[in-house]
Amino acid sequence: MLFIMPLKNCQQLKQRISNAQEELQKAREQAEQIILTNGPEKVKEILESIKEEQENITEEIYHYKARREIAKKHNLDYVSNFTEHGIAIVRKDDKYNIVNQQGELLYEDWPLKIRDFQEGFAVVQLPSDEWTFINTKGERITDKVFVYADDFHEGFAAVELPDNEWTFINTKGEIATEKRYSTVDRFEYGYARVVQKNGAWNFLDLSMQPIRQQWLSEKLRVSSSFIETKGKSVLVCKSVDRNGSSISVYNLLMSNGSFKFDEWFEYKKVNIFQNGYALVEDYKGNKNFLNADGEWLLDDWMNYPDVSFFRADGLARVRNQSGKYNFLNEDGELQFHEWLPYRDVRNFHNGYALVYDIDQGFNFIDRSGTLIFSDWLSSDAIKTVGDFHCERAIVVMNDDSINIITKEGEFVFEKNYQDAEILNYQDNFSVIESIKGMNALDRNGNLVFKEWIPYFYDDAGDESGDIEFFIKDGIFVVTDANDIAIRTFNIFGKEIFKK
């Protein structure tokens, strides 16, 4: 029997991996001193010991060996990580199945599709082309089948019935309401928009009750969702005739079903809510922010020529008539007493904003306005700098080579990568591509794969098309043009299986 580590222990194990990675980096940094005192063999012994510990911990989380054995046993294209009840989703020739701890397939007839588990349940497309749901034990939660089914969100899943009717089921597999609708959305922050056959619409709460007794006309358009306001309100728009011209007027529909304003408001621009605020501009070019409670952020409207949306950091960038930058915070105050003296300022991202000075180059500021690099990144050598992700930022040189910089202003790589581009960060790895193919870099800039992964997969002499390369469930996955996994590797670059 395969030992399956419960998911509740994953965070603890991931922390152990992180600690082991830090130990490995410290060992590398101290290698020269260790060589002088203990010799190179001692260094090798220490590094191998730490790497072995990393691999053991990673195996506890991701079960590489078990998944590899199962993949070989059934000649599978892909094996997901195991659930807390010891089952995994597998794929072969664009069909799906469930495998248990013993490596046994649960279904004799392979489903056409099994989606990833959401809230403990997975949507299954049966061989009959009908849809149903399973739990993390692989058991169906209902005998009912549906024309189509969506994932669970906040305890409910939208399902399509015959005759183009939609409703919801709960986690017990029971129909949650006898009402039928022509269109339904997912529940987000406790509310789901539903539309009747006559076009009238409303929002249901989690008790399946509409928030308004009187349904709203299809002529009213929803311009945002409860996601952007965390369940407080949605922006609603309608067209009215004004002196022979059609204009848009707006209101806020609150979560209790009432409209915030007695009179619908009209402005030159009313943007959708982002991070709790909607940017509004009047016909004179003045700007303000409307919050989710229907209150204006500022008593006096801003006449700045450039105002950005609020970002997740709780700041909105503004630029005045003199071209100077500052940030507006959620108290309606300027973040900095003095306007920033830089040629260009980017929006905050993960706590830092990139700034550019025409004479000195690039740097970052924190929320206090303090520069984080003691030495600027000279624009004589650098073309652009990306935002921070996973405490790393991409740097593109003027010759189009790349590097990664830390928050301490230190470059990760001793030499810039030539003819390569960093595509994305995920799970503390950077996926890169170059003329040599695709690869990945760990947080310290080390290549994960000794051999680059080609852009085309050659199977018996036939090219199957462009590949995709990404990380999923702790495994590097290579898929062909048909989205079929053709190679998988662990995070140390060891191949698990190859089709």
Domains in the chain: boundaries: 1-62, 111-218, 222-290
Predicted local distance difference test score (pLDDT) of residue 39 = 62
Predicted local distance difference test score (pLDDT) of residue 27 = 64
The amino acid at residue 289 is F
- 152-156, 181-185, 381-385, 397-401: lowest mean pLDDT where? 397-401
Band (pLDDT 50/70/90 cuts) for residue 267 is: very high
In this model, does residue 222 exceed pLDDT 80?
yes
Q: Token digits for 481?
A: 């043009």
In this model, does residue 215 exceed pLDDT 80?
yes
What average pLDDT does this structure show over 274-295? 97
Phi-psi region at 312: left, alpha or beta (left = phi > 0; alpha = psi -120 to 50): alpha
What is the total residue count of the chain?
A: 499
Question: Topology of domain 111-218, per CATH?
Answer: Lipocalin (2.40.128)
**How does pLDDT run across 430-439, given as a tens digit for each residue?**
788 888 888 8
Give the whole-angstrom CA distance, residue 333 versus residue 132. 52
Average model confidence (pLDDT) for the chain?
87
Band (pLDDT 50/70/90 cuts) for residue 7 is: very low
Give the whole-angstrom CA distance, residue 40 versus residue 469. 36
Predicted local distance difference test score (pLDDT) of residue 8 = 43
Band (pLDDT 50/70/90 cuts) for residue 262 is: very high
**How does pLDDT run across 9-67, given as a tens digit for each residue?**
455 555 666 666 666 666 666 665 665 566 667 667 766 776 777 677 777 777 878 88
Phi-psi region at 276: left, alpha or beta (left = phi > 0; alpha = psi -120 to 50): left
Predicted local distance difference test score (pLDDT) of residue 321 = 96
Give the whole-angstrom CA distance, residue 372 versus residue 451. 37
Give the whole-angstrom CA distance, residue 113 versus residue 26. 45
Phi, psi dihedral angles at 255 (to 5 degrees): -65, -15
What average pLDDT does this structure show over 369-376? 96
